[in-house]
Amino acid sequence: MTLGELVRGGVHDVAAGIIGWTLLVDGVGGRIVEVEAYAEDDPASHAFGGATARNASMFGPAGHLYVYRSYGIHWCANVVCEQPGRGAGVLLRALEPTHGLERMRDRRAVADDRLLCAGPGRLTQALGLTGADDGADLSRPPFELIPPASQAVVERTTRIGITRAVEQPWRYVELGSSWSSRRRRAA
């Protein structure tokens, strides 16, 4: 399975399928253990209501990044999906740090490694992702997306931190992972 093949499916297949992949930026990163799907007709999605200046990359090529500023402070990163009608993406919520731990500790200055990449804002900070990476192609350096040796076991729960379509079970977590951002119960 390649990134191009993975990203060809609908958002939910992509969200479930990307769990277990290793994401690296300049050799720094880890295993994707938590994501959320934001679908085409999803009131919680930034793409809901059509393309604007901010969400433009969600309507661009699949397999690229959509990075936006959250609450004026943090950056959050999505993998753009190739969904009919476009405007769908998968929000990267947590990684299990595996590569470049020192680099991530420098950037995050946190005592517990558990907090390095457990949350969308934390993850981007640890990997050094910013608005400058919006629209970037994940299949090209400095990015690497490496498939897992075997398909991860995925658990589906409700999404976190949103105010609309709260009841939809569109958060995907690797079963048993202790690196997710946790809160809220399974759907």
Partner DNA sequence: CTTTCGATGATCT
Partner DNA sequence: GATCATCGAAAGG
Beta strand pairing status for 28-38 and 89-99?
antiparallel
Tell me the C-alpha distance between 72 and 168, whole Å: 26
- Name 10's Cβ contacts closer than 8 Å, sequence gap at least 6: 39, 81, 83, 88
Q: Which residues have a Cβ under 8 Å from the Cβ of 52 and sit 6 or more positions away?
A: none
Q: Which of 15, 44, 62, 138 binds DNA (CB under 7 A)?
A: 44
SS3 state of residue 139: coil
Q: Which tokens in the block code for residue 53?
A: 């200046």
Dihedral sign computed on CA atoms, order 17, 21, 25, 29: positive
Is 181 near DNA (CB under 7 A)?
yes
Task: Write the interaction track for DNA spanning residues 111-140; mark x where CB under 7 A is met and - where it is not.
Answer: ----x---xxxxx-----------------
Q: Give 90 or 153: the residue with its C-beta nearer to DNA.
A: 90
Position among 34, 36, 96, 174 found at the interface with DNA (CB under 7 A): 36
**Is residue 107 part of the contact set for DNA (CB under 7 A)?**
no
Among 58, 62, 95, 173, binds DNA (CB under 7 A): 58
Contact letters for DNA, residues 139-178 (x by CB under 7 A)? --------------------xxxxxx--------------
89 counts as binding DNA under rule CB under 7 A: yes
Contacting residue, 16, 28, 38, 57, with DNA by CB under 7 A:
38
Cβ-based neighbour number of residue 173 at 10 Å:
24
Alpha helices in 109-176 (DSSP H): 120-127
Quote the tokens at residue 83: 């969904």
Asked if residue 108 binds DNA (CB under 7 A), the reply is yes
List residues near DNA by CB under 7 A. Answer: 36, 38, 44-47, 49, 52-55, 58, 66, 69-74, 76, 78, 89, 91, 108, 110, 115, 119-123, 159-164, 181
